[in-house]
Structure 1
Amino acid sequence: MTHAASATATRWRSPARLGAVAALLAAGWLMPAQAALFEDDEARRAILDLRQRVDLANEQSRTRDAELAGQLKTQRTELMEQITQLRRTLLDLNNELELLRGENARLRGQSEQLGRDIAELQRAQKDIRQGIDERIRQFEPQKVTVDGVEFTVDPDEKRLYEASMAQIRAGDFNAAAQSLAQFQQRYPASGYNESVLYWLGNAQYARRDCKAALGSFRSLVTAAPNHLRAPEAMLSIANCQSEQKDPKAAKKTLEDLVKTYPKTEAATAARERLAAMK
C-alpha cells in the first residue's frame, strides 16, 4: 500500500468517519458492496489529490531550482566578469609598474651620468684654477731667505738665481759665471746681489780669473760689510792675492779679517794662515 492509500485508509478509519459509515449501515442505507465501492473512489480521489500535490510540489521545486540555478549562473557570470576585470586591472598595473621601473632606471642612469659630468667639470675647474694660480704665482713677488736675509723677488728673478746655483753645484763654473754676470745686469738692485757677488767671485776664482774674482769679492765687502758672506769674501780676497804673488797684501787682508770678524770661522782660518807666514 502506498503512503497516500495508507493516509486515505487512515482518514477513513478515523472515529468520525467510521461512526458515520456504521450509522449508514445500521440504517440500511448502505450496502456492503456499495460501502467498498465508496472506499475505492475516495482512495482514488485521495491518491489523485496527493499526486497533484506532489506534482505541484515537484513543479515548485523545479521552478525554485531553476531560479536558483539562474541566480547562481548570473552570480557566476558576474564573478567571472569581476575576475576578468581584476586580471585586466592587474595587467595594466603591472605594465605601468614596468614603465615606471624603466623610467626610474633611465632617470637613475641620467643622474649617474650627470654626477660623472659634474665631477669631471669640477676636476676641470680645479685644474684650470690651479693653472691660473700657477700662472699668477709666476708673476707675483715671492719672499725668499738667502744667507739669513729675507727679501722679495720676482719669479723670473728667483728662477735665474736658482739656475745659476745649480750650475755652481754641478761644477759648471764657466756657465755659472756667465749666468751670474747676466743676473747682475738684469737685476742690479736685487736682494740676491750680495750672494750673487760672492758666488760669482767663487766661479771666477775657480776659472783662475783672480782679477775678476778680486773685483767681485771686494764689491761684496764694500757694499755689505755686515753680510754673512763678507768674512768668507775677505778670506777669498787673501787667496786671490796669494795667487797673484802678493803676500804682503794677502797678510794685510788676513789681519783685517781677524780684526773685523774675530769670532767667525773665516777669522780662525786667517789666524792659522798668519801663523804659517811667520
Structure 2
Amino acid sequence: MRVLRLTLLALAASAAWVQPAQAGLFEDDEARKAILELRGKVQANEDAAKQRAEQLNGLIQDQIQPLRRSLLDLNGQIDALRAEVAKLRGANEQLARDLADTQRKLTDQSQSVEARLKPLEPQKVSLDGREFQVTPDERNQYEAAIGLVRRGEFADAVAALNAFLKRFSASGYTDSVRFWLGNAQYGKRDYKDAIATFRAFINGNAEHPRAAEALLALANCQIELKDNKTARRSLEDLIKAYPATEAAQAAKERLHALK
C-alpha cells in the first residue's frame, strides 16, 4: 500500500508538471502562428502596395511618355522657329544694308543728275526793268551776241542776233535783241535795215526804257542817208514823246545842228 501510495503521488506530481508545460507549449504555438499570420498580412500588404506602386508608375509612365514626346516636338519646333527667326533677322539685316546702299546710290545719282541738269534749268534774268526766265543756252547765246556788238564785230553780231531771234522767237530777250540788232546794223552801215529794225522796235515797245534811244538811233540813220527832213521829224517826235530823257537832250542838239 505504501508503495502504491508513493506511486500515485509520483504520478500525480508528474501530471501536475506536465500540464503547465503543455500549456506553455500551446501558448508558444499560438503566438508563433499569430506572428506568422501577421507577417503574412504585412507581406501581403507590402506586395499589394508594391503592385499598386508599379501600376501607378506604369500609369505615370504612360502619361509621361506622350508629354515627353510633346516636349521634344515642342523643343524641336522652338529650335526651328529660332533658326527661322535668325534666318529672317539675317535677311532683314541684309535687306537693310541693300536698302541703305540703294538709297546712297540713288542720292549720288540724283545729285549727279541735278548737277547735270542745273546748267539747263531756267534762270531768272533782270533786263531793262523787266524780269523773265531764260534757259542757260538762251542766256549764253544772247550774251555772246551782245559781246560781238560791244567789240565792234558788227557783221558777226548781226548774224548772231538774227540767229537768236530765229531760234528764240518768244524769248524775254527779244526786245533787247532787236534794239542791239539795229545798233549792229547801224555800225555795219546797213542804215536801211537799221531803220526798219528800229521802227519795229519802237512800234512794238513805245514804253520800253530804250525806246527813246532807238528813236534817236533811227534819226541818226536817216541823217546818214541824207534824209534830213525825215530825221528832223523823228527828232521832234523824240523830244515830244520822251522830253525828260538824255536822248531828248541829244535830239535837241541834233536839231540845232540840222538847222
User: Shared fold by TM > 0.5?
Assistant: yes
2: distance between equivalents of 1:53 and 1:61?
12
Aligned equivalent of 2:29: 48
For structure 1, the 5+ residue unaligned runs are: 1-27, 128-133, 135-143
Shift of 1:261: 1.3
Q: Do residues 214 (structure 1) and 191 (structure 2) align?
A: no
Give the TM-score, by structure 1 length. Answer: 0.55
Aligned equivalent of 1:86: 67
Q: Do residues 59 (structure 1) and 48 (structure 2) align?
A: no
Per-residue CA distance 1:168-196 (angstroms, 9 max, x = gap) = 46x24456532321344567788865333
Cα 1:257/1:84, change in 2 over 3 Å: same
Aligned equivalent of 2:241: 260
Shift of 1:95: 1.7
Aligned equivalent of 1:166: 143
Shift of 1:89: 1.3
Shift of 1:57: 0.7
Aligned equivalent of 1:24: none
Per-residue CA distance 1:20-64 (angstroms, 9 max, x = gap) = xxxxxxxx9x94432332111111111111111101111211121
Shift of 1:70: 2.6
Give the TM-score, by structure 2 length. Answer: 0.58
Shift of 1:199: 3.0
Per-residue CA distance 1:221-272 (angstroms, 9 max, x = gap) = 2444344431232244466678x598x7898455542321124xxx135426
1: distance between equivalents of 2:138 and 2:221?
25
CA contact (8 A) 1:217 1:233 kept: yes
Aligned equivalent of 1:3: none
Count of residues in correspondence between the two structures: 218
2: distance between equivalents of 1:221 and 1:271?
19
Q: Do residues 194 (structure 1) and 175 (structure 2) align?
A: yes
Amino acid across the alignment from 1:167: A
1: distance between equivalents of 2:71 and 2:157?
89
Shift of 1:73: 3.1
Cα 1:191/1:167, change in 2 over 3 Å: closer
2: distance between equivalents of 1:166 and 1:113?
52
CA contact (8 A) 1:160 1:183 kept: no
CA contact (8 A) 2:182 2:194 kept: yes
Shift of 1:74: 3.4
Amino acid across the alignment from 1:165: Y
1: distance between equivalents of 2:166 and 2:210?
21
Aligned to 1:85, the other structure's residue is in SS state: helix
Per-residue CA distance 1:64-89 (angstroms, 9 max, x = gap) = 11221232233334434544432321
The correspondence for 1:271, drawn from 243, 246, 249, is 249
Aligned equivalent of 1:70: 51
Aligned equivalent of 1:7: none
CA contact (8 A) 1:177 1:204 kept: yes
Cα 1:34/1:190, change in 2 over 3 Å: closer
Cα 1:176/1:50, change in 2 over 3 Å: farther
